[in-house]
Amino acid sequence: MQTKRGEEDVSLSPQTIRRRHTIREMKRSGRKQWDLYHSLVCPFVLHDALKLVMRNRGSSGVDGQTIKSIRGKESEFIKEIQTELKQRTYQPSPVRRVYIPKKDGSLRPLGIPTLKDRVVQRALVLLLEPIYEQKFHDFSYGFRPNRRAVDAAAVVAKESYQRRYVFDADIEKFFDNVVPRKMMGILRQDIVDPRVLELIQRYFQAGIAESGKPWQKQELGVPQGGPFSPMLANIYLHEILDEPFAKEFGSANKIKLVRYADDFVIMVQSKSDLKYVEQLVRGWLRAGKLKLKEAKTCWIDMNNWSRSHRSKFKFLGFKFHLRSYTDNANRYWIARQPSEESRKSLRESLRERLHCGLSLQEAYDRLEQTWIGWSEYFRYGNSNRILYRERKRAKKIYLWYLGRKFRRQRKGVPWWILHKWKRKLTNALQVPKIQADHLARVKVTQTL
C-alpha cells in the first residue's frame, strides 16, 4: 500500500493495513465507524505512527523529549501511550510556538507538539485518511497520498493553456483563522465515535506555550506544524471551498480549480467569468470566516493577443509564462520554470549551509544534497537552461566557501586544493533529465 510523503519508504504493518482497509470499505458502503477509538489504541497502529514520526524527525515540544531519547525504548513508549488512551487519561500538551521567517520578511508561527502528541496525531491521520480520501476532490493536491506538488503544477500548466484567464489567489493567515467550533461540526458529519471527537477537541483546547510568555488559550485557529494540521486544513477547505465549487461548476468544463493546501488557482475561458468566480470564492470563504490575501490575489490574461510582462503567475515555486513557438512567433504556449524567488532561495540556502566550520568534504556533501533536492523538483517542466545556469552559480558558491574558509586562516587557498576541488566540481552536480512530457502524463482535473 502506498502512503504519503514521509510514509513512502516506511511499510505499514499488515494489521494497520487491514484496519485501514476495513475503515475504507465501511465508508464506501455507507456504514459509520462507531468504534474508531478501538483502532486508535491498537499497538500496531501506534508503532507505525511512531516509525513515521521518527522518520520525519522534528524538534522537541514543551516537555523537551526528543526522538533520540526514546531510541531503544520504543515499546515502553508505545505502551505508555496505549495505557493513557485506554484509561482515557491522555491529555495533549500545549504546543511550543516558534517563528520562522517568510519570503516577504514577516514571521510565520509554527506550533511544535510534544513527541507523544505527534505519535497520537499521526495515528489519527492513518485512521482518518481512508475516510476522507474518498470525499476529497481530484483538484485538491496538498498533503495527500500520491499527489505531488509537481503534479498540481503540471495540471495548472495544461489547464491554463486551454483556459487562458487565470484567477490566482491565496488565503490570508488560514491556520490562524480556522474556527474550531465549525471545524468540529464538519468532523461530526463523518466521525461518530464520541471518544475520537473528544480527543480532537482536546487538541484545540491544549493552548500555546511561547518562550518568556504564560500559557495562552487559542480561541481561533489551528496550530501549524503538527502531523494532524494538514489533514484538518484539507477537511476544512473541502467543506468551505471545494464542495461549493464542485456544486456550482461540476458540469462546467470551462472553469477549473487546482488547490494545494491554502494556495489555489482557478482557470476560466472568458474574462467575464473572472469577476463572477471571484465574487463566489469570496462569499464561500466569508462563510468559513476566511478571506483572500489581497497582495497575492490577481487576474492574469494568458492569451496570445494580449501577451505582456504581466502575462505570468507563480504557483508552488514555478513561474508560468507565455513562450512563443519556434515556427510561429505569434503563437504562444505556457512554460513552467523555477521562479526567481525559488532560484534566490537555493542560493541563499547554499550560502547559509556552507559555513567555515565544515570540512571540505562535508561542505561538498551538503552542496550536492541541496542541489539534488532542488533540481529533482524543478526537472518537471521547461527548466533545462535555468538548471544549468543555477548549477554554475552553485559551483561558484562552493568556491566562495573555499575562499572564506582559508581567509579565516589568514592565508590563501593552496593551489593544489583549489585545483583538486575545481576538477571535482567540473563533473559534479549533475543536471537531472528534464521531463517536460510529464505534463502529458498527468491526468487533467476531472469533471465532477
Q: With b meaning 16 or more CB within 10 Å and e meaning fewer, what string describes 362-388?
A: ebbebbeebbeebbebbbbbbbeebbe
Q: Give CA–CA dist 444/439, Å, rounded.
A: 9
pLDDT of residue 141: 92
All three cell numbers of 189, joined, read 458529519
pLDDT of residue 6: 39
CA atoms within 13 A on the CB side of 293: 13
Angle (CA) 69 72 76, round 5°: 85
pLDDT of residue 110: 85
All three cell numbers of 210, joined, read 511561547
All three cell numbers of 435, joined, read 521531463
Is beta strand 263-268 parallel, antiparallel or unpaired with respect to 255-260? Answer: antiparallel
Q: Give CA–CA dist 63/116, Å, rounded.
A: 10
pLDDT of residue 32: 82
363: nearest Cα among 405, 393, 391 = 405
Is beta strand 263-268 parallel, antiparallel or unpaired with respect to 165-170? Answer: antiparallel
Q: φ, ψ for residue 90 (rounded to 5)?
A: -70, 130
pTM: predicted TM-score of the whole model, two decimal places: 0.87
All three cell numbers of 286, joined, read 466569508
pLDDT of residue 305: 65
Instruction: Give the chain's residues under pLDDT 70.
Output: 1-10, 104-105, 251-252, 304-308, 326-330, 408-413, 415, 436-448
| Cell 466569508, residue located | 286
pLDDT of residue 127: 95
Helices 43-56, 74-86: inter-axial angle, 10-degree rounding: 130
Helices 229-237, 180-187: inter-axial angle, 10-degree rounding: 80
